[in-house]
Amino acid sequence: MEIIKEWLDWIYALLITVSGILKELLLYIENTLRHSPPLEHFGAITAAITGVLVARYRRIDFFGIFVLGFVTAAGGGTIRDIILDVPVWWIVSPAFTISIGLTCAITFFLVRLIRLPSRLLDIADTFALALFSVIGTAKALDCNTGVISAVMMGVITGVAGGMLRDIMIGSVPRVLRAGVYFYATASICGSTAFVISDYYDLPLKWTLSIALILVLRLGSLKWKLTLPEYHSSDEIPPQNPS
């Protein structure tokens, strides 16, 4: 019995130690995410990567690649800032344009040298969606918008850049396609979670909101989860040409 008690005491002490380490780690991550510029840089980089990867089979030159990458990375935040009537984020800090340009160049030449995994586009797009959605929501709250408007600003920041990218290459925007799995839905859930956490002053609001979007989006890709599609009862099926 004495040995069992010693083992239980050791396990308890280990659990206390591990929980303390996890708490400190989460607090460190939360404090890091609260600093918007580094987070925006990472979001811009991942979004720019998606702009380049989408264009890799469309025979677009380097200037076109840069335009697509820049629009994907900066489009949503630009629309958000114009609506909020605040200085546009990448104009205030030219370092974002430099980061986006370097990312486009590196990805452009990297794709020509090695074959990147096909899932890389979805993964990069998911991280850009999560980061920009929460950043947009936080910035709207800082501008004293209502909670519903803050959620809308988060969704616009997260999805509008990708929509502009898809329109420029002549595709239906990903957010409007059937079978895309949770995309805007994940953004809405994460932005809403951030607003609720901010209202009740809950801890780890940045970490948990970003994690929620990542889990919803990546989980929907893994298990092919989608929202119900709209089908009208009186819909006329397309006619085959004779």
Q: Write out pLDDT tens, residues 66-102.
A: 999 999 999 999 999 999 999 999 999 999 999 999 9
Proportion of the chain in helix, strand, coil states, percent, rounded to 5: 75, 0, 25
**79 or 172, greater pLDDT:** 79
Residue 180 lies in a domain: yes
Report yes or no on 26 lying in a domain: no
Note whether 216 and 158 are within 8 A (CB). Answer: no
Please give the Cα distance from 176 to 101 (Å, whole number): 28
Does a structural domain hold residue 31? no
> Within 13 Å, how many C-alpha atoms sit on residue 165's CB side?
30
State which residues form the domain around 137.
Answer: 36-223
Q: Model confidence over 120-145: pLDDT tens digits?
A: 889 999 999 999 999 999 999 999 99
Residue 100 located in a structural domain: yes
- pTM score of the predicted model: 0.88
178 domain residue, yes or no? yes
Domain annotation covers residue 22: no
Across the range 1-27, mean pLDDT stands at: 82
Mean pLDDT is lowest, of 37-41, 43-47, 65-69, 97-101, for 37-41
As a whole number of angstroms, the distance between CA 112 and CA 158 comes to: 28
| In contact, 73 and 129? CB cutoff 8 Å | no
Residue 8, in any domain of the structure: no
Asked if the structure places residue 2 within a domain, the reply is no
Of 97-106, 136-145, 159-168, 231-240, where does mean pLDDT reach its minimum? 231-240
What does the buried/exposed string (b/e) look like for 157-167 if buried means 16 or more CB atoms within 10 Å of the residue's CB?
bbbbbbbbbbe
* Residue-level pLDDT at 46: 94
Q: What is the count of structural domains for the chain?
A: 1
